[in-house]
């Protein structure tokens, strides 16, 4: 199978039957000329849309009433003549026409709901059940497209039950036959996953029977979870690659992609990062992404080894907007220059983060605040890291982090115990690793602490010992969220203590506007280093608190803990601001360093906007390498820069950073 093209467009076409003259202005020559000028080399085109209509002469589905031509066929033919790839889009759970004409196919939620965003009297998509014969109908449509056309892949959208599991007249009897209690949320959730996975297998088998060369991706399924069973590992064989849909102007925001990609890069499949040309999200016909924002999003993709896809929606009459493609072309021209230093590259993480996110909801952007806090702390400190589920191999990392609320079971505890005894390092915070049955931490003996319940005060204060206070002004710092209380094993070293307020703020007594001032430093430990220095435990949920309140001191305390456990990180001394992002990847014998500096700002009520590129000057970076390089150069400019190799680090300086820069350190791997 060929590698994924780097410069893709995902072309939506969800078009109401009330709109006439569908595709009337489509000109194949103009279509491909616009795309070529925009440096696009693959376009995902549409067979069927969420309104339920097909855009080719189907004998299984229903052609859009306003369409008088084979729009899908003409697009594929034009793209192939121009040397571009043409994966084909279809949709599963949302099909308005089928919902209207086949009541027996409707998804019915346990509370009687029928849709995710819509109701019978509200515009928006309503859900269908893939466990009914509707699932076979969709697979038959996909097979029909593969028989009629030589497209380059299949993209099926909304391949899960949206909002809640289904208890329709097909699902409910099956649950009863299988002994599933439909009033138990866990049981019907597991039943829904089994139905979804049966569809994936059946559909992938049908596609591969027609053409094993087709790429296959199922959208709205990607799910980062502590438990692999709730994530994608049991179904990974049904995909040829992963497409991370993440339009920052929509509900995804700017945390979603970097969290997701650092998890899905552990699967070993090719990755695609999908953003959009819209100011907000899909269907924003009059919206145009700021150039700086679109550049940032595409080069963030490259920094993680992913190819780029920019979402667009074709006008019903079938003409691409020239202004939109001028914007796409501005960015893709720069992406094209950089591709040789991205293709085939591999991540080089120092740190593995076992995710706290659990419950099967991250496909809706519902990550644990602890995981968001880890992302912010480690990105801002320029560390190289991946997110892991409990099936991970800790030995691949120099440091493993369990942030605030990470579950540990007997299997994971055994792996972590072996990892630490083999020389690995652990940073554990708050209730992570707590065994509820025993009331103590699974790894208490290695951590040097035992769980003794919740801390008596919240908020309380953090008082640092000198070893943990580097770069922090001397004072007692507030910890607003309630943490844990621990007892120490002999020889464990206390790096920070709890200071108590006069009292907790209650209806009985309070002081001032927020929380009660400090009364005294207690003898209760907050940050503890194990006897052998292999584990640091922090008894406060500082990652979650940093995600919510962004107190610099909390990030710095965590950074200082990490520095004790990881004294030689991949990125060493530098003068980069915390707003800069640095990623190092291996490519053959070379290291490729990606430096990004795009500052997003909250504007409007909910949007984080990137509009201006703020240059940095005389950027100094140190990168750990096993030997002295043969050359260090800016790429794609191929401009050599001065460097030094000292104490196992390559030190170089980038004279000016205008938003982004790639640096090749040659011959060090």
How confident is the model at residue 506, as a pLDDT?
A: 92
Instruction: State phi, psi for 617 to the nearest 5 degrees.
Output: -120, 145
Query: Which of 15-19, 364-368, 568-572, 612-616 bottoms out in mean pLDDT, i.e. has the lowest?
Result: 364-368
The mean pLDDT of 510-517, rounded to a whole number, is: 92
Q: Considering Cα of 160, then 165, then 169, then 170, what sign does the dihedral take? A: positive
How confident is the model at residue 479, as a pLDDT?
A: 96
Spatial CB neighbours of 565, under 8 Å, sequence gap ≥ 6:
399, 425, 426, 427, 534, 536
SS3 42: strand
**Cβ(428)–Cβ(529) under 8 Å?**
no
Instruction: State phi, psi for 534 to the nearest 5 degrees.
Output: -85, -20
Q: Is 604's pLDDT higher than 90?
A: no
Please report the DSSP string for 570-634 in residue order. Answer: SEEEE---TT-EEEEEEETTEEEEEEE----EEETTTEEE------EEEEEEEEE-SS--SEEEE
How are strands ordered across the β-sheet holding 215-218?
215-218, 153-157, 88-91, 42-46, 7-12, 307-313, 270-276, 241-245
Name the helix (H) or strand (E) containing 525: strand 518-529
**Distance from C-alpha of 36 to C-alpha of 54, rounded to nearest angstrom:** 26
Confidence band of 117 (pLDDT split at 50, 70, 90): confident
CA 8 distance to own-chain centroid? 19
Per-residue tokens: 107: 């998804």
Q: Give residue for tokens 């083999």.
A: 422
Confidence band of 113 (pLDDT split at 50, 70, 90): confident
Domains with residue ranges and CATH for the chain: 7-345 (3.20.20.80), 348-565 (3.40.50.880), 571-666 (2.60.40.1180)
Q: Is 1's pLDDT higher than 90?
A: no
% of the chain surpassing 90 pLDDT = 96
**Distance from C-alpha of 314 to C-alpha of 28, rounded to nearest angstrom:** 14
For the beta carbon of residue 253, count every other beta carbon within 10 angstroms. Answer: 17
pTM: 0.97
The mean pLDDT of 423-442, rounded to a whole number, is: 97
SS3 532: coil
Per-residue tokens: 58: 């189907």
User: pLDDT for 24-79, tens place per residue?
Assistant: 999 999 999 999 999 999 999 999 999 999 999 999 999 999 999 999 999 999 99
The mean pLDDT of 546-554, rounded to a whole number, is: 98
How confident is the model at residue 545, as a pLDDT?
A: 98
Three-state secondary structure string covering 267-332: HCCEEEEEEECCCCCCCCCCCCCCHHHHHHHHHHHHHCCCEEEEEEECCCCCCCCHHHHHHHHHHH
Strand partners, 80: none
- Cα–Cα separations (whole angstroms), residue 271 to 67, 85, 529: 34, 17, 38
Q: Is 120's pLDDT higher than 90?
A: no
Q: Is 629's pLDDT higher than 80?
A: yes
Instruction: State phi, psi for 518 to the nearest 5 degrees.
Output: -70, 140
User: pLDDT for 223-278, tens place per residue?
Assistant: 999 999 999 999 999 999 999 999 999 989 999 999 999 999 999 999 999 999 99
């Amino acid at each position: 199978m060929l590698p994924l093209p780097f410069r893709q467009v995902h072309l939506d076409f969800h078009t109401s039957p009330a709109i006439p003259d569908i595709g009337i202005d489509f000109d194949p020559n103009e279509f491909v000329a616009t795309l070529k000028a925009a440096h696009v080399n693959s376009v995902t085109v549409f067979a069927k849309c969420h309104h339920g209509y097909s855009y080719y002469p189907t004998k299984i589905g229903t052609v859009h009433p306003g369409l008088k031509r084979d729009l899908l066929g003409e697009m594929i033919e034009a793209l192939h003549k121009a040397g571009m790839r043409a994966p084909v889009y279809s949709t599963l759970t949302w099909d308005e026409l089928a919902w209207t004409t086949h009541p027996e196919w409707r998804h019915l939620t346990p509370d009687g709901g029928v849709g995710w965003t819509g109701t019978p009297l509200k515009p928006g998509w309503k859900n269908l059940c893939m466990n009914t014969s509707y699932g076979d109908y969709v697979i038959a449509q996909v097979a029909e497209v593969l028989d009629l056309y030589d497209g380059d892949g299949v993209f099926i959208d909304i391949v899960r039950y949206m909002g809640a599991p289904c208890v329709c007249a097909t699902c409910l009897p099956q649950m009863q036959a299988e002994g599933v209690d439909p009033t138990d949320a866990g049981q019907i959730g597991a039943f829904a996953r089994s139905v979804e996975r049966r569809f994936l297998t059946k559909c992938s088998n049908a596609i591969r029977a027609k053409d094993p060369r087709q790429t296959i991706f199922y959208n709205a399924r990607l799910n980062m979870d502590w438990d692999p069973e709730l994530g994608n590992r049991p179904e990974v064989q049904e995909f040829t690659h992963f497409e991370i849909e993440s339009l920052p102007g929509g509900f995804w925001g700017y945390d979603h992609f970097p969290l997701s990609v650092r998890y899905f890069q552990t699967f070993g499949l090719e990755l695609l990062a999908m953003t959009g040309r819209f100011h907000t999200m899909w269907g924003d016909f009059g919206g145009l992404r700021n150039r700086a924002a679109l550049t940032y999003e595409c080069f963030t993709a490259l920094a993680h080894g992913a190819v780029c896809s920019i979402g667009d929606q074709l006008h019903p009459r079938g003409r691409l907007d020239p202004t939109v493609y001028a914007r796409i072309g501005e960015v893709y021209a720069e992406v094209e220059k950089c591709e040789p230093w991205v293709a085939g590259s591999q991540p080089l993480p120092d740190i593995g983060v076992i995710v706290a996110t659990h419950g099967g909801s991250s496909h809706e952007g519902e990550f644990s605040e602890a995981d968001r806090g880890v992302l912010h702390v480690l990105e801002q400190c320029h560390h190289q890291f991946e997110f892991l589920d409990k099936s991970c191999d800790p030995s691949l990392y120099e440091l493993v982090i369990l942030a605030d609320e990470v579950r540990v079971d007997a299997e994971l505890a055994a792996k972590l115990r072996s990892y630490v005894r083999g020389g690995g390092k652990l940073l554990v915070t708050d209730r992570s690793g707590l065994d509820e049955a025993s009331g103590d931490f699974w790894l208490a003996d290695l951590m040097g602490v035992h769980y003794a319940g919740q801390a008596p005060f919240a908020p309380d204060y953090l008082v640092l010992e000198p070893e943990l206070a580097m770069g922090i002004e001397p004072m007692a710092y507030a910890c607003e969220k309630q943490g844990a209380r621990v007892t120490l094993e002999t020889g464990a070293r206390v790096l920070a203590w709890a200071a108590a307020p006069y009292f907790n703020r209650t209806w009985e007594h309070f002081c001032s506007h927020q929380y009660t001032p400090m009364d005294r430093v207690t003898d209760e430990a907050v940050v503890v280093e194990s006897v052998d220095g292999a584990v640091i435990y922090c008894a406060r949920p500082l990652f979650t608190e940093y995600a919510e309140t962004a107190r610099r001191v909390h990030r710095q305390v965590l950074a200082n803990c990490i520095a004790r456990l990881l004294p030689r990180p991949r990125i060493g001394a530098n003068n980069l601001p915390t707003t800069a992002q640095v990623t190092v990847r291996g490519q053959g014998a070379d290291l490729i360093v990606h430096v990004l500096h795009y500052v997003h700002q909250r504007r409007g009520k909910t949007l984080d906007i990137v509009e201006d590129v703020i240059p940095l000057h005389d950027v100094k970076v140190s990168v750990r390498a096993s030997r002295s390089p043969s050359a260090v150069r800016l790429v794609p400019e191929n401009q050599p820069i001065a460097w030094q190799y000292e104490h196992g680090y390559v030190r170089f300086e980038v004279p000016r950073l205008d938003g982004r820069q790639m640096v090749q350190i040659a011959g060090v791997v």
